[in-house]
Amino acid sequence: MPEADPTQRDVAANGLRHHLLEWDGGGPTTLLCLHGFLDLSWGFAPVAPALAAAGYHVVAPDLRGHGDTEWIGAGGYYHFMDYLADVADLADAVALDRLVLVGHSMGASIAALFAGVFPDRPRAVVAMEGMRLPEQPDEDLPRRAADWIHGVRRARQRGPRVLPDVDACAARIRQFDPLCPADVALLLAERGTSPVAGGRAFKHDPIHVTRGPYPFRLEQWSRYWRAIRCPVLLLEGERTELPPPPDMRARVACLLDARTRVVPRAGHMMMRHEPAAVAAEVLAFLEAV
């Protein structure tokens, strides 16, 4: 069973109350662990104890609108640059002498943005399948913006999807992630949902599932990647459901010092599937840098 008893506390970052988990291994290096889309800090629970046992100070926040961190409230949204400002404040608030960013999926994309904007800040970055955002073709941007506005309105009116109980929430996790062990799915369902009228609902803000107004443009993002100066470990899952983009080699070439490793038997949610292997790869990388 994954570790379920880290220290929990709240930190103010960018005007929002952020909830975070902390496993303190006693060393001077903080691993700031950023979860992926619709996940939460407890997603690092299968991996974090091994990192802390190696002497690292491991901190995993719930990103804005996820888990037990505040939602943005009326009039706000969740753009990548909003997350970047949050993480900048979180790093200042929790990091010890040295900072390493460990990100999964969306969290890895945010970590890479941070390392490009603040190239002298992190000692290293671990990016778990974080460079796979698909390049989007030219489209009718005014129409996309209109669709975004209508989508946000609908999501706010509809509210969260309600499931009957924790077991149903765990089953839904495994529906979308069949490789997830049952005990991990149950932990995430217990920690990642709240009781509501009629059952339970996942804690993330429903407007996360809307399609934002700004398409991904590789030409823009690659500028941030080229600004990164620290070593970057790119961890990929052998059984990932997200195929690499056709220009993946060119993306990796943007990084000054990139090292790619594949986690056997793991899918996209590799921390759930092969936590020991993920921890071993992260520790070996940090030993080398």
Q: What is the mean pLDDT of the chain?
A: 95
Average pLDDT over residues 205-209: 96
Would you say how long the chain is, in residues? Answer: 289
How far the first Cα of the chain sits from its last, in Å, is 31
Closest CA relative to residue 101, chosen from 128, 65, 132, 136:
128
Of the pLDDT bands very low, low, confident and very high (cuts 50, 70, 90), residue 1 is very low
pLDDT at residue 66 tops 60: yes
pLDDT at residue 19 tops 60: yes
With beta carbons less than 8 A apart as the criterion, state whether 262 and 238 touch: yes
Reported confidence tier of residue 243, pLDDT bands at 50, 70, 90: confident
Percent of the chain scored above 70 by pLDDT? 99
Both structure tokens of 62: 């719930």
The angle formed by the CA atoms of residues 259, 225 and 17, to the nearest 5 degrees, is 100
**Which of 3.40.50.1820, 3.40.630.10, 3.30.450.80, 3.40.50.740 is the CATH number of 7-137+202-288?**
3.40.50.1820
For range 13-37, the mean pLDDT: 97
pLDDT score, position 5: 84
Please give the average per-residue pLDDT across 71-78, as a whole number: 91
pLDDT tens-digit map of 149-198: 999 999 999 999 999 999 999 999 999 999 999 999 999 999 999 999 99
Interior angle at CA 199, CA 195 and CA 203, nearest 5: 45
> Does pLDDT of 4 surpass 50?
no
Quickly state the pLDDT bin for 200 (edges 50, 70, 90): very high
The amino acid that residue 39 corresponds to is: D
Percent of the chain whose pLDDT exceeds 90: 93
Radius of gyration of the chain (CA): 18
The DSSP H or E segment spanning 259 is strand 258-263
Q: For residue range 84-138, list pLDDT tens digits in order.
A: 999 999 999 999 999 999 999 999 999 999 999 999 999 999 999 999 988 877 8
pLDDT for the residue numbered 73:
84
Task: Tell me the domain boundaries of the chain.
Answer: 7-137+202-288
Q: pLDDT digits over 41-57, tens only?
A: 999 999 999 999 999 99
Q: Give CA–CA dist 146/204, Å, rounded.
A: 23
